[in-house]
Amino acid sequence: MSLLIVQKKLNYPPETLGCQAGSFISEVRRLALEAGIKSRDLNLELADIGFTPKKEYIELKLYFRTPLGQDYEPADRP
């Protein structure tokens, strides 16, 4: 199985999410789509999303993995 983790700091203090939920969700969605496009050659799918609130920002982690039922075969190395 192959795993790719994309980590990003989002400049949304946790206490402001009540007022900024729409823009926060839009940014998370945009980042997930962008990361999926960039990793398309790896044949990975979004498996999980993690959020860690910090004082000044929220840390976002996107977990991509090989789709279930597919084996990952690493490229030959010299």
Task: Map out the domains of the chain as residue ranges.
Answer: 3-65
pLDDT in tens, 50-65: 999 999 999 999 999 9
pLDDT number for residue 44: 87
Beta strands in 1-78 (DSSP E): 3-10, 45-53, 58-65
Its pTM stands at: 0.76
pLDDT in tens, 9-59: 999 999 998 899 999 999 999 999 998 888 878 888 899 999 999 999 999
Q: Is the pLDDT of residue 78 over 60?
A: no
For residue 24, give Cα distances in angstroms to 5, 30, 75: 20, 10, 37
Query: What pLDDT, on a 0 to 100 scale, did the predictor assign at position 77?
Result: 47
